[in-house]
Structure 1
Amino acid sequence: MSELDQVEHDQISTSLEVEHLDVNLFRSKSLWLPRRARGVFGGQVISQALVSATNCVNPAFGLHSLHCYFLLSASPSTPIIYHVDRVRQGRTYTTLFVRAVQGGRTIFVLMCSFQKPEPWQPSHQWPMPDVLKPEDCELEETRYIEVSKSTTLPPAFRKGYEEALALKQSTRSPIAVKRAGEHVIQVDGTVAYMYWMQARHIPKYEAPFQKCILSYISDMHLISSASKILGLKTFGKGPDTVSMNVSEFRVFDDNSLE
């Protein structure tokens, strides 16, 4: 597949769309390979698997939690088949297992739980951090332009931002990203990197598929934040330099999805 074919869709609905082949069988309609990546964008695989599972559940049930693992990188040239196994269908909870297969090999697995709403149950969520509002933050594309023009940064660092800017301008990402806070020291001493993310040109989606959009976003900026906290360099060579990023595991609970 040519680089021209690898333009990310500017409609999130296109990125998430799957073809319903049989009762518990679905197939990807499009796959996106980011520049320099070894395989298809992980967030797209997560979201398509979750869309497949959601299509197999009574609409009265809402996504409660999910756990998933990436096993092999996926090629954008061959559709991914999503096998949905209805592990348990109870009165309050429904559990499904999704296996993503490409070329006869399992590349990804997802276990997810759906629950009938029980508003009387106790709930908890972390307090909203004190950060700038989305309208007061600049888009990543704007920040990349400013950094790439800087004459005080090392050439390799500037080149990295120039490539990131070219990617942003060429792919028409369906997700708008704004940095809300960088290297923020929390009360417990941990470092946090905070971003605002929003789907562009979003069609009218019911709550179940809003959660599928969130699963797409879950694979954005997570690994890069981890490498920053560990003090790893993005450019150059050596034991303290990031050589390859791999998405391994994701966990959502009910509070994080609301």
Structure 2
Amino acid sequence: MGDSNQVEHEQISTSLEVEQLDVNLFRSKSLWLPVRARGVFGGQVISQALVSATNCVNPAFGLHSLHCYFLLSASPSTPIIYHVDRVRQGRSYTTLFVKAVQNGRTIFVLMCSFQKPEPWQPSHQWPMPKVPSPENCELEETRYNNLLASATISPGLKKGYQDALAERTRSPIAIKRAGEHHIEADGTVTYMYWMQARNIPKYEPPFQKCILSYISDMNFISSASKTMGLKRFGQGPNTVSMTSTLDHSIYFYSDDFDCGDWLLHVINSPRTGSGRGVVHGRMYTRDGTLVAVTSQEGVVRANVRGPAEPKMDAKL
């Protein structure tokens, strides 16, 4: 599956596609392994599980939240089987549970809830921060090209930038930094990225939510390591040795958005420690509508060693 998966990854529609095997049983068609990653891209697993669940729901109900746990790294060489359990069907809400299995082991679980919309209810939202428009921000590919043009770049760093450039160029998602990270007076650090699914038609809301779920896992847990000043490439205690998602949640508050246009993901990391970090995010359309609230915790480890564990007494 390996080489064809990397090609299919370049189109978001094929990247999220699953094959229906039975009423509540689905199988992945392609799986993508990012550069330097331990397993299949988490956003793809979330989205494929969500596509499977959406195929089992009455269209009158719209997805409003999802909560998931990553249990084991997934290999790109073996299809993932998604088992959908229709847990509860109510008049206003319906709940489904999805278990992702690979090689007989559960690698991921997803609980998602769907609601009959109630647009007549009152609403409020936090305003979108003031940022440059996406047209006035540069693509990550351009940024990496500029970094590679530096005369002082080390060979190790050069290889890291080259890998990142190749991955960004082939990705179905375009990313632009909305300016440099912002630091509030109280020390809160905010990272903001414009993100867009490349060259897609205007899909219906259920599939738009699946694409947003894919997008939401990009540059997310890495914001925790960036907040601490850890570098992605290089050596030493101020570099990242590992990041890996543990859990991920999304709350949707709109059916009226298009991932083919730019979405702004505003990200903060309130806490890191004990080899873990948590990040919170808000997804806005370019007109300032807050369409989704995101959250994730993951393993965030620096390149430092802990104390040696004491030897166990053989008599115990």
Tell me the TM-score range normalised by the shorter chain: over 0.9
CA contact (8 A) 2:141 2:168 kept: yes
Q: 2:154 matched to 1:168?
A: no
**Does residue 1:27 correspond to 2:27, yes or no?**
yes
Q: SS in structure 1 opposite 2:242?
A: coil
Tell me which residue corresponds to 1:70: 70
Partner-residue secondary structure (3-state), 1:176: strand
Tell me the TM-score normalized by structure 2.
Answer: 0.76
Q: 1:71 to 1:131 in 2, by over 3 A?
A: same
Q: 1:34 to 1:9 in 2, by over 3 A?
A: same
Structure 2, unmatched stretches of 5+, are: 254-282, 284-290, 293-316
Question: Deviation at 1:223?
Answer: 2.1
Instruction: Return 225-234 or 110-119, whichever deviates more.
Output: 225-234
Which of residues 195, 198, 202 is equivalent to 1:197?
A: 195
Alpha-carbon shift at residue 153 of structure 1 (Å): 4.5
d(CA) in 2 for partners of 1:186, 1:113: 35
Pairing of 1:1-16 with structure 2 (within 5 A)? 2=2, 6-7=6-7, 9-16=9-16
| 1: CA distance, partners of 2:162 / 2:211 | 28
Range with greater deviation from structure 2 (22-31 or 1-10)? 1-10
Could you give the per-residue CA deviations for residues 17-63 of structure 1, whole angstroms, max 9, x where no partner exists? 00111111111011111122121111100000001111111111111
- Work out the CA distance in 2 between the residues paired with 1:158 and 1:8: 27
Segment of structure 1 superposing worse, 219-228 or 237-246 = 237-246
Percent same amino acid among aligned pairs? 77
Distance apart, 1:114 and its partner CA: 0.5
Shift of 1:115: 0.4
Where relative contact order (Cα < 8 A, 6+ residues apart) is larger, the structure is: 1
Superposed, 1:87-236 pairs within 5 Å as 87-169=87-169, 172-186=170-184, 188-236=186-234
Partner of 1:240: 238
Aligned residue identity for 2:164: A
> Please, what is the CA RMSD of the aligned residues?
1.8
Aligned to 1:84: 84
CA distance in 2, matches of 1:185, 1:73: 34
Query: Quick one: structure 1 residues 85 and 2, their matched pair in 2 at CA, closer, same or farther if it must change by over 3 Å?
Result: closer
1:155 positional shift: 4.6
Q: Would you tell me which structure has more strand in proportion to its own residues?
A: 2
Q: Can you list the C-alpha shifts for 1:135-178, whole angstroms capped at 9, x where unaligned?
A: 11111111110011112455543432222113334xx2111111
Rounded to whole Å, the distance in 1 between the matches of 2:186 and 2:57 is 40
Larger radius of gyration: 2
How many aligned positions are there? 256
**Aligned equivalents of 2:152, 2:9: Cα separation in 1:** 35
| Comparing 124-133 and 103-112, the one that deviates more | 124-133
Say if 1:94 and 1:113, in contact at 8 Å, map to a contact too. Answer: yes
d(CA) in 1 for partners of 2:203, 2:111 = 23
Length-normalised TM-score, structure 1: 0.92
Task: Identify, as 1 or 2, the structure richer in helix.
Answer: 1
- 8 Å CA contact retained: 2:137, 2:179: no
**Is the Cα contact below 8 Å between 2:5 and 2:31 reproduced in 1?**
no
Is the alpha carbon distance of 1:53 and 1:222 closer, same or farther for their aligned partners in structure 2, counting shifts above 3 Å?
same
Q: Secondary structure at the match of 1:245?
A: strand
Alignment CA distance shift 1:8-1:191 (3 Å): farther
For each residue in 1:221-255, what CA deviation from the matched residue of structure 2 results, as whole angstroms up to 9, or x when unmatched?
A: 01222111012122333443211110111111123
**Cα deviation, residue 181, structure 1:** 2.6
Would you say 1:38 and 2:24 are equivalent positions?
A: no
CA deviation after TM superposition for structure 1 residue 216, in Å:
0.4
Shifted more, 47-56 versus 145-154: the winner is 145-154
Give CA-to-partner distance per residue, 1:108-145, whole Å, 9 cap, x none. 00111100000122333221111110111111111110
How has the CA–CA distance of structure 1 residues 8 and 145 changed in structure 2, closer, same or farther, with 3 Å as cutoff? farther
Q: Which letter does structure 1 place at the counterpart of 2:92? A: T
Three-state SS of the structure 1 residue aligned to 2:181 is: strand
Question: Tell me, which stretches of 5 or more residues in structure 1 are unaligned?
Answer: none
Tell me which residue corresponds to 2:48.
48
